[in-house]
Amino acid sequence: MNQNDTKVEQFGDCLYSNPAGYDYWTDEKSVVLFQTVFSGQEEAIQTVRNSPIFFEQAGPREKIYFNPPDVTAGIVTCGGLCPGINDVIRALVMELHYRYKVPRILGFPFGYEGMVKKSGHRPVELTPDKVAHIMNFGGSILGSSRGNQSTNDMVDTLCLYGVKMLFCIGGDGTLRGAEAIQDEVKKRKEEIAVIGIPKTIDNDINYVQKTFGFSTAFSKAVEAVNCAHEEAKGAPFGIGLVKLMGRHSGFIAVNAALASKNVNFVLIPESDFDLEGKGAFFETLKDRIQKRGHAVIILAEGAGQKFFEDKGEMDPSGNKKLSDIGLFIKDKISDYFKRENQTINLKYIDPSYIIRSVPATAEDSVFCGFLAQNAVHAAFAGKTGCVVGIWNNVFTVMPITLAIAERKVLKPEKSTLWRSLLASTGQPNSMKAIN
């Protein structure tokens, strides 16, 4: 990555005074240093002096590009549900209406499908009264959907309703769709700001420190994990097995384990493991059961996919379909202990849809508000094709292309999070079979 990769596209000079009325403004040239840890003072000095990489800092500008009375804003939510979506919608509407005095805010129902005229859906007008209490509910008041839609049709709809800024709330697939919309808008020489607000329970968006809904997700997951612990210790040779979300990354699984402190094994996509053989998972699990009488296991949904045939199937969002590792491991554990003549009491819990459908926690709700407000600031500053996020605890704006270039994953070989997990659970550094 170089400094050109972090440069956000700008429509032009900002000539209008910002009506938001804040006491202070974010400087247009304010940046956030990408790298904050160095091997020593000399490397830090050389890096900052010779080849620094910065993100643009998010925040309200004193001068803005769009004239608020001329603006119609659009909001769309796509992909799977996630705690905090309604909080983001509410904060967008409140900031647009009260601070920037935007006269019309439209919500497109059922994701990108609602932006295609032939779908039969029509946008709904969002006002402060309509969104005042939606943060008390999970899901999205606008609904959602998966799957690709015609980019031309979506941009036609934006032009039909005179939308000047579109806020796309969603994960990797949604951001790719937003990038396609941005490309078509640019091709038509229209001025429609396209701003992404990253939404993924898995916390796997590139160069975004944390996504909204993640804190709520692993906090709720802890309840299921602690129930599994009670089930496990309440029966002789009890095993509690909990499957959590995490297609490509184990952030929810690891954080839930660290928060619960009742977990003995965590299996994630980023850390390879074998089931049978000396030093493999089942032998390690058996040793734990025989010594302590019970065990709790967290399993991320994307872990252990090597045990299945890759059929190349994709879901409507273009993601690779995963095989059900939870039921697979449950059956394999039962089979293994039968062969070992070891009685066990195995309880399997999958709280995935409960976790993603709950309202956001107080902490997450506050975070959602910051993201939404900074998305509005970015749009009015004339920025487009970008994502708002947080890096080194500072809110940032970066190009969508950078956010979707690759997925963020946990790196066990150099992760302090994984090191803390090993210390908390006591599981071995590796559960690969020793030949």
Most confident of 1-10, 29-38, 186-195, 411-420: 186-195
Q: Which CATH number fits domain 215-357+413-425: 3.40.220.10, 3.40.50.720, 3.40.50.460, 3.20.20.300?
A: 3.40.50.460
Report angle CA 403, 405, 411 to the nearest 5 degrees: 90
Residue 10, strand partner residues: 383
Provide the 10 A C-beta neighbour count for residue 238: 21
Interacting residues of 284 by C-beta distance below 8 A, sequence separation 6+: 265, 427, 428, 431
φ, ψ (nearest 5 deg) of residue 124: -110, 145
Exposure string for 119-139, b = 16+ CB within 10 A, e = fewer? bebebbebeeebbeebbeebb
To which residue do tokens 């700001």 refer?
193
Note whether 412 and 418 are within 8 A (CB). yes
Instruction: Give the amino acid at 176.
Output: R
Distance CA 93, CA 88 (A): 9
Residues taking part in catalysis: 202
CA atoms within 13 A on the CB side of 25: 16
- DSSP label at residue 95: I
For residue range 373-382, list pLDDT tens digits in order.
999 999 999 9
Tens of pLDDT, residues 11-59: 999 999 999 999 999 999 999 999 888 889 999 888 888 888 999 999 9
At 376, which helix (H) or strand (E)?
A: helix 362-380
Residues linked to residue 102 through DSSP beta bridges, in sequence order: none
Q: Is 174 annotated as a binding residue?
A: yes
Flag whether 301 is marked binding. Answer: yes
Cβ within 8 Å of residue 369, ≥6 positions away? 87, 91
94 is in an annotated binding site: no
> Tokens in use for 305?
């996919």
- The response to whether 183 counts as a known ligand-binding position is no
Q: Is 350 annotated as a binding residue?
A: no
Do the annotations mark residue 61 as ligand-binding?
no
pLDDT of residue 139: 93
354 is in an annotated binding site: yes
270 phi and psi angles, rounded to 5 deg = -80, -10
Domain extents in the chain: 3-211+360-404, 215-357+413-425
Q: DSSP secondary structure string, 20-71? A: T--SS---TT-EEES----SSHHHHHHHHHHS--EEEEP---SEESS-GGG-
- Residue range 215-257, pLDDT digits in tens: 999 899 999 999 999 999 999 999 999 999 999 999 999 999 9
CB 163 within 8 A of CB 73: yes
d(CA 263, CA 278): 22
The annotation status of 64 as a binding-site residue, yes or no, is: no
What is the fold, at CATH topology level, of the domain defined by 3-211+360-404?
Answer: Rossmann fold (3.40.50)
Global pTM reads: 0.94
Q: Kindly indicate the confidence band of residue 352, based on its pLDDT and cuts at 50, 70 and 90.
A: confident
| Nearest to 165, CA basis, from 408, 391, 377 | 377
**What pLDDT shows up at residue 231?**
95
Note the pLDDT tens digit of each residue in 386-435.
999 999 999 999 999 999 998 899 999 888 999 999 999 999 999 999 87
Neighbours of 88 (CB within 10 A): 29
Task: Give me the pLDDT at residue 317, please.
Answer: 64
CA–CA dist 198, 182 (Å, integer): 16
Q: Give the pLDDT of residue 147.
A: 82
* Domains 3-211+360-404 and 215-357+413-425 agree in fold: yes
pLDDT digit string, tens, across residues 268-316: 999 999 999 999 999 999 999 999 999 999 999 999 999 998 877 776 6
Place of tokens 């709809």: 157
